[in-house]
Amino acid sequence: MCKISQELEAASYICQTRSIRLGGHVTSIRLETLFWRILEEIAALEGTSLGRFLTKLHDDSLEFRDGIGNFTAYLRCACIYHVATRRERAHQESHKEPVPETTLMPLAARGNARIKTFEPYPA
């Protein structure tokens, strides 16, 4: 049996739907529990509530990216990016060397380019 199958709690991939206000409109977002936990962690690191953090992401997506067609997918990718960033920082601190070329690649840098470092979250 795969290690992930053994260690992943079933509650982690149960979907939860939450109501949230984005751009003055109430909407529902359906994500797996694990993604909600990661988003709550990021919001806490940003020093804000989950609702305000999601509103900030939504507003930023409108301002800088002309909107996101699938906001839920964007949130999942933000969670993966956060976890990868945290992993990279931990690796660099423990090994004092760059992470191997298995890191995430931004969509804008498709091709052979790889991310060498991630920008840290603002304090």
The answer to whether residue 108 sits within a structural domain is no
The answer to whether residue 114 sits within a structural domain is no
The answer to whether residue 8 sits within a structural domain is no
Note the pLDDT of residue 120: 47
As for how many domains the chain has, the answer is 1
The answer to whether residue 64 sits within a structural domain is yes
CATH number, residue 87: 1.10.3990.20
Q: Evaluate if pTM is beyond 0.75.
A: no
Helices (H), 1-123: 3-7, 33-45, 50-65, 71-95
| Residue pLDDT tens, the chain, 123 long | 688 878 878 888 889 999 999 888 999 999 999 999 999 999 999 999 999 999 999 998 888 777 778 899 999 999 999 999 888 888 777 776 665 555 454 444 434 333 333 444 554
The answer to whether residue 11 sits within a structural domain is no
Which amino acid, residue 86? R
In the three-class reduction of DSSP (H, G, I as helix; E, B as strand; rest coil), residue 23 is classed as coil
Of 68, 48, 23, 49, give the one whose Cα is nearest residue 122. Answer: 48
Note the pLDDT of residue 13: 87
The answer to whether residue 2 sits within a structural domain is no
Q: What's the domain range around 49?
A: 17-101
Note the pLDDT of residue 96: 67
Look up residue 5 and give its two tokens: 């199958």
Note the pLDDT of residue 1: 64
Query: CA 6 → CA 3, 10, 80, distances in Å?
Result: 5, 10, 21
The answer to whether residue 49 sits within a structural domain is yes
Alpha-carbon gap, residue 21 to 110, rounded angstroms: 34
The answer to whether residue 40 sits within a structural domain is yes
